[in-house]
Chain A
Amino acid sequence: MILTVASGKGGTGKTTVAVNMALSLENVQLLDCDVEEPNSHILLQPKISETESVYTKVPAVSEEMCDYCGKCSRFCAYNALFVAPKTVMVFPELCHSCGGCTLVCPKNAITEKERQIGAIKKGEAKGVEIVYGELNVGEAMAVPLIRAVKNQMKNNKNVVIDAPPGTACSLVASVHKTDYCILVAEPTPFGLHDLKITVQVLKDLGVPMGVVINRAGLGDRKVYEYCQKENIPLLLEIPFSKKIAELYSRGIPFVAEMPEWKEKFMEVWDNIER
């Protein structure tokens, strides 16, 4: 099974749930798709065995062959090319690598070159295989790197994906083609508001979902009422506890110190599989 852990709102406990879930399962691979701010490796402390650079394709214009007709710049939907009377400027960070400019250039003056946007790292810790991506600082587009992380997925493993916050394209790329999505929500007004938006994305994508409530006991009951009304199963409650918060602050997954929770995570997994 491929399980994604998502949330909409940031800091609700996605990484906590993903890592503790992975540590409770056998034969498991954890893919951290929060390539802007990956954190699961901080909790797992894996031994990194491999680092691979990730590239996207961007246009390279041959000034010798170019006659400055401007067709590429008119075609580009992302304003990544600008043609002046005697020069062409490329803005690589705006490029989506669609390849359109190379197709429309009548002089075949455009080829594609590779540009590094980040790296993926692979490692292992406590029986969990982990792959995570790290977007270069200053780089805007996370989606190609998220796809590179997901390309490392192994079919014979139980896969847990740690998704980025938000409800935009990065979330869609992370949750695309997964079997089930756990939404980690905080029982607060912010938590509820962002949960509702995320539920809408998952409904549009047709991904089945359930909710884990983190920091239960804080806030109010509205998230519970919403889940009941929308028929979204409540999979687990993790109480608000200073001990869990303190363990997290030191980078320790709480199942390591509170092993009784392993069974609860296993049960959640088994229930979803059924």
Chain B
Amino acid sequence: MMVKEITVLSGKGGTGKTSVTASLAVLTKNAVLTDCDVDAPDLHLLLKPEVLEKQEFKASRVAVIDEEECVQCGKCEEHCRFGAIEKLVVDPVLCEGCGVCEYICPVAAIELEKRVSGYAFISKTKYGPMSHALLNPGEENSGKLVTLVRKNARKVAEKENCELIINDGPPGIGCPVIASVGGINVGLIVMEPTLSGIHDMERALGLLNHFKVPALVCVNKYDLNEENTSRIVQFCGSNGVEVVGKIPFDPIVTESMVAGKPIAKYSPESRVSKAIAELWKQTLKHL
């Protein structure tokens, strides 16, 4: 069976990706959920996963100088392109683990040590299996950790015979987002009707287009500025992008978050839940 995959993304942060994804989890049977926002994951706060497996994620290395061996020639400092060595001390935050210092050191006083950059988890939730992760604060390699989360999700999907993977994506359009959209079937952009939201949606659409991923758009809190919403609908229409749904603004979404539940579970009869159910129906036609 071909496992289909959809990523919820947004460009701009805080537009409601996670709230929407959590509700899609409620509305879908037989799907694996992932949280690809590995440096600020929030989906677990609503899905309350029970961790079954925890995996160390060792992707980066960091230079360590042996002070006793060091002859203080300063070559490492001179060759480091990241400014990570100052007065012969390595700043682990700036070090990108390239290994140039280790190579250039004439007395072999520098070694690169592997470091744990984060953890990946495979869990179960009320709504299905979940693959997620947590990058250590300030780390790089978030893209690689996203790739691991998606790989784990695929394994679980095959094992448990799931038909669909729903990825909660990170904000932005850089490395972790690229890792979240490569090879997926559909990208669902959740956006707000603000000028910033429109600007960021255009860049997110550009990204999906660049990677040849079909795009769908959902306008969240559409009634905050209906004039902008109609501009978005028009813009999407003339660019061949379907607007699959419009979700009204309602403080009940924050209420459900405080209660630690997806809105579709907390209040299935609310306007917001109905709008999400409708947008999911439209989205499934593309999967």
Stretch at the interface among A151-159, A193-201, A255-263: A193-201
Taking CB atoms, residues of chain B closer than 8 Å to A103 are: 79, 100, 103-104
Taking CB atoms, residues of chain A closer than 8 Å to B178 are: 138, 140
CB of A97 within 8 A of chain B?
A: yes
CB of A142 within 8 A of chain B?
A: yes
- Once the chains bind, are A194 and B138 in contact (CB under 8 Å)? no
Near A by CB (< 8 A), chain B positions 93-139 give: 93-94, 96-100, 103-104, 135, 137-139
In the assembled complex, how far is the CB of residue B145 from the closest CB belonging to chain A, in whole angstroms? Answer: 9
In the assembled complex, how far is the CB of residue B113 from the closest CB belonging to chain A, in whole angstroms? Answer: 13
CB of A164 within 8 A of chain B?
A: yes
- Once the chains bind, are A172 and B13 in contact (CB under 8 Å)? no
- Once the chains bind, are B206 and A137 in contact (CB under 8 Å)? yes
The residue that B258 contacts in the complex, of A43, A99, A189, A197, with Cβ under 8 A, is A189
- Once the chains bind, are A142 and B228 in contact (CB under 8 Å)? no
- Once the chains bind, are A193 and B42 in contact (CB under 8 Å)? yes
Classify the interface of chain A: helix, strand, loop or mixed.
loop
Taking CB atoms, residues of chain B closer than 8 Å to A104 are: 103
In the assembled complex, how far is the CB of residue A64 from the closest CB belonging to chain B, in whole angstroms? Answer: 25
Taking CB atoms, residues of chain B closer than 8 Å to A172 are: 93, 138
Given contacts A140-B143, A251-B196, contact A189 B174 (CB under 8 A): no
- Once the chains bind, are A188 and B258 in contact (CB under 8 Å)? yes
Interface bits A32-50 vs B (CB < 8 Å: 1, else 0): 0010110100110000000
Report how far A197 CA is from B135 CA in the complex, Å: 10
Given contacts A9-B13, A250-B195, contact A170 B137 (CB under 8 A): no
| Interface size classification for chain A | 35 or more
Near B by CB (< 8 A), chain A positions 36-91 give: 36-37, 39, 42-43, 75, 77-78
CB of B64 within 8 A of chain A?
A: no
CB of A92 within 8 A of chain B?
A: no
Taking CB atoms, residues of chain A closer than 8 Å to B39 are: 166-168, 197
Residues of B in contact (CB 8 Å), total 62
In the assembled complex, how far is the CB of residue B251 from the closest CB belonging to chain A, in whole angstroms? Answer: 7
The residue that A219 contacts in the complex, of B93, B138, B196, B257, with Cβ under 8 A, is B257
- Once the chains bind, are A189 and B257 in contact (CB under 8 Å)? yes
The residue that B14 contacts in the complex, of A9, A138, A167, A201, with Cβ under 8 A, is A9
- Once the chains bind, are B194 and A138 in contact (CB under 8 Å)? no
CB of A106 within 8 A of chain B?
A: no
Interface bits B194-222 vs A (CB < 8 Å: 1, else 0): 11110110010011001100000000000
Report how far A194 CA is from B93 CA in the complex, Å: 20
- Once the chains bind, are B138 and A37 in contact (CB under 8 Å)? no
Near A by CB (< 8 A), chain B positions 1-60 give: 10-15, 18, 37, 39-40, 42, 45
- Once the chains bind, are B40 and A194 in contact (CB under 8 Å)? yes
CB of B270 within 8 A of chain A?
A: no
In the assembled complex, how far is the CB of residue B87 from the closest CB belonging to chain A, in whole angstroms? Answer: 16
- Once the chains bind, are B103 and A170 in contact (CB under 8 Å)? no
Near B by CB (< 8 A), chain A positions 2-38 give: 8-12, 15, 34, 36-37
CB of B187 within 8 A of chain A?
A: no
- Once the chains bind, are B260 and A189 in contact (CB under 8 Å)? yes
Listed in ascending order, the chain B residues whose CB lies under 8 Å from chain A are: 10-15, 18, 37, 39-40, 42, 45, 61, 79, 81-82, 93-94, 96-100, 103-104, 135, 137-140, 142-143, 170-178, 192-197, 199-200, 203, 206-207, 210-211, 224-225, 228, 251, 254, 257-258, 260
In addition to A141-B174, A188-B258, 13 A-B residue pairs with Cβ atoms within 8 Å of each other are: A12-B14, A77-B98, A103-B100, A103-B103, A103-B104, A137-B203, A165-B13, A168-B138, A168-B140, A169-B140, A189-B257, A190-B257, A249-B193
